[in-house]
Structure 1
Amino acid sequence: MATTLGHHQYGKAEIRLVRITRDGDTHHLKDLAVSVVLSGDMAEAHYSGSNANVLPTDTLKNTVYAFAQEHGVPSAEGFGILLARHFVTSRAPVHHARVRIEEYAWDRIATPGRGAHSFVRSGREVRTARVAFDGRKWEVLSGLRDLTVLNSTDSEFRGYAKDRYTTLEETDDRVLATSVTAVWRHADGDGRPEPDWDLSYERARGHLLGAFAGTYSRSLQQTLYRMGASVIDNLDGIDEIRLSLPNRHHVPVDLEPFGIENDTAEGAVYVAVDRPYGLIEATVLRAGAEPRIPVDPTR
């Protein structure tokens, strides 16, 4: 049976990198996992085994480390742009480069009299960035995962469809908790200057949190849409955001067997159920924008 080669690519995944910048006694830390994927004129590596157009994945790793030292890490997005541009413009067989970055946050530990160089791994979310470049057009996706949030009230769930298998009782007051994964696409440049990536990230994160806290929720779907719309409405440079919100259920514990009343005016005790969980996902777009974030934005 005749065969032909479909889409093909290769790269180096999960390049762990810690860049320490020294400003006298004050040090700054960037902790990243960088993945690089290249595609282009490389079919012969599959057909005949010729590696003439294949840059070793070990070289990709070394390039990431070298660029981190020579250029620093201004931001996850900025570093991804530097790398993608280099791989596409420095080698003719490479037509397209994708760089995916996860950034892990660290908080500074105050050490009076000893310099600002001590850190503790932060419990914050993981920041993500994905950069694609084909020699002409850029696509930059920023995002985050594991942003865990909870509203202890101002959430209800009622008026839903029911059938013979429905046992869930309606409620007008529940705990709403989720772990947010979000990916947002920046508008095409059109001659505009490159944004301040760190500031853009913090603003998007702030609008996600503000909308979650500020929405009286009748469903997690409603909350999701308000979160995405808040980012689009307040940040001109973002045209599309995809959100994935697992519903981390908190169920009141039955304490009646012990003669204890749960859920009183003074408080209540809940069990946090990690699985199974409802999974609410959707994309929010600026009016007139075309959706371009894949359903699985990790790809």
Structure 2
Amino acid sequence: MAIVLGPNRYGKAEVRLVRVTRDGDTHHLADLTVGIALAGDLAATHQRGDNSGVLPTDTMKNTVYAFAKEHGVAEPESFALRLARHFVADQAQVHTARVSVEAYGWDRLGPHSFQRQGSWTRTCTVTHGGDGTQVVTGITGLVLLNTTASEFHGYVTDRYTTLPETTDRILATAVDARWRHLTDAAPWDDSFRGARDALVAGFVDTYSYSLQQTLYAMGTRLLTDRPEIAEVRLTLPNKHHYPVDLAPFGQDNAGEVFLAGDRPYGLIEGTVTRDDAPPASAEWYL
């Protein structure tokens, strides 16, 4: 029996970076968490402990800070592209670099004062190597809720089914969406805002008979509105809201009082894609 080394990579995770750009009395703020993973000719360090081809992960961290100073941050995708291309070009043993970014938004309160935005976070992942460059943008923690215009009935039942059918329910979710761009050059901020708005519109404008239907409608709306995007992967937890039984108190509950459930919850996942989109150059949904 032969034992061989399978796919592998290594890097620096969760590098926290805050970059202040001082434009006179007006300051601009970028707040990121950056992850780096490198793959390539690294068998020697795994099999023999030979570190001659290993760039220390501490060096990767330092590169993030140095690039933030030298080049600025601007859009998360642009920053990730610059880092990924650097590691592949600078290190002959590195064949592929994957750089992921979480970007936290801040609303301006004054020339140098800011307030952290709500629950959602912007994300991006850039993979650069011999197979090309792939850019994936996303959003996580985007909480959406419709108080009506949602039904759920006609589903499979068996001897363990207790869930009653409904023609009027609250539909709520916390959207985790990632979308793959067709190119590695785009107006990233405009594209992100347009994609986020399309997802929200798809949720708001859909009369829902299932969260699966809503997922497909949201993905379809995004691809319709944003021609620069090849496909989108959506993960939608069903944030259940249970009507409270007020009968013991002599009160009716006509869809007014609910218990917001925490767990367990339904989890709906799916990918919506253009049928003519080129294939991905890397596993972008991990």
Q: TM-score, normalised by structure 2?
A: 0.95
Match in the other structure for 2:150: 155
Find the aligned partners of 1:296 and 1:92 in 2 and give their Cα distance. 24
Match in the other structure for 1:70: 70
SS of 2:202 mapped into structure 1: helix
Match in the other structure for 2:54: 54
Find the aligned partners of 1:250 and 1:118 in 2 and give their Cα distance. 37
Aligned residues: 286
Match in the other structure for 1:12: 12
Q: Is the 8 A contact 1:108 1:118 kept in 2?
A: yes
Distance 1:281 1:29, change over 3 A: same
Find the aligned partners of 1:198 and 1:296 in 2 and give their Cα distance. 20
Find the aligned partners of 2:2 and 2:282 in 1 and give their Cα distance. 31
Match in the other structure for 1:253: 244
Deviations 1:59-93 (A, max 9, x none): 00000000011111111111000000000011111
Give the CA deviation at 1:3. Answer: 2.4
Find the aligned partners of 1:142 and 1:71 in 2 and give their Cα distance. 21
Give the CA deviation at 1:109. Answer: 2.2
User: 5 Å matches for 1:213-292?
Assistant: 213-263=204-254, 268-289=256-277, 292=280
Find the aligned partners of 2:281 and 2:234 in 1 and give their Cα distance. 11
Q: Is the 8 A contact 1:11 1:60 kept in 2?
A: yes
Match in the other structure for 1:103: 103
1:86 aligns with 2:86: yes
Find the aligned partners of 2:194 and 2:281 in 1 and give their Cα distance. 20
Distance 1:176 1:296, change over 3 A: farther
Match in the other structure for 1:113: none
Range 207-216 or range 282-291, more displaced? 282-291
Between the aligned residues of both structures, percent identity stands at: 56
Match in the other structure for 2:173: 178
SS of 2:253 mapped into structure 1: coil
| Residue ranges of structure 1 left out of the alignment (5+ in a row) | 111-115
Find the aligned partners of 1:82 and 1:146 in 2 and give their Cα distance. 27
- What RMSD in Å do the two structures reach over aligned CA positions? 1.7
Find the aligned partners of 1:220 and 1:44 in 2 and give their Cα distance. 48
Distance 1:62 1:268, change over 3 A: same
One-letter identity of the residue aligned with 1:144: I
Q: TM-score, normalised by structure 1?
A: 0.91
Range 267-276 or range 211-220, more displaced? 267-276
Range 164-173 or range 94-103, more displaced? 164-173
Deviations 1:25-68 (A, max 9, x none): 11111110000001111211122212111111100000000001
SS of 2:196 mapped into structure 1: helix
Find the aligned partners of 2:115 and 2:49 in 1 and give their Cα distance. 47
| Residue ranges of structure 2 left out of the alignment (5+ in a row) | none
